A = this chain, B = another copy of it.
Amino acid sequence: MPHMIIRGISVPQIQSISTVMISELADVCSCGTDNFMLECLPTVSISQGEICDTYPFIEVGWFERGQEIRDAYADVVTRHILSLGVPEVEIAFKVYREDSYYWNGKLI
Contacts and interface: CB of A to CB of B under 8 A. Distances in A.
B3 A74 contact: no
Categorize the interface residue count of chain A. Answer: 35 or more
This chain: how many copies in the complex? Answer: 3
A18 B79 CA distance: 33
Interface in A1-34: 1, 3, 5, 7, 11, 14-16, 18-19
Given A93-B100, A102-B78, A43 B49 contact: no
Contact of A15 (B1, B50, B108): B50
The binding surface of chain A is classed by DSSP as mixed
Contact of A37 (B1, B45, B108): B45
Interface in A27-67: 37-51, 54-55, 57, 61, 67
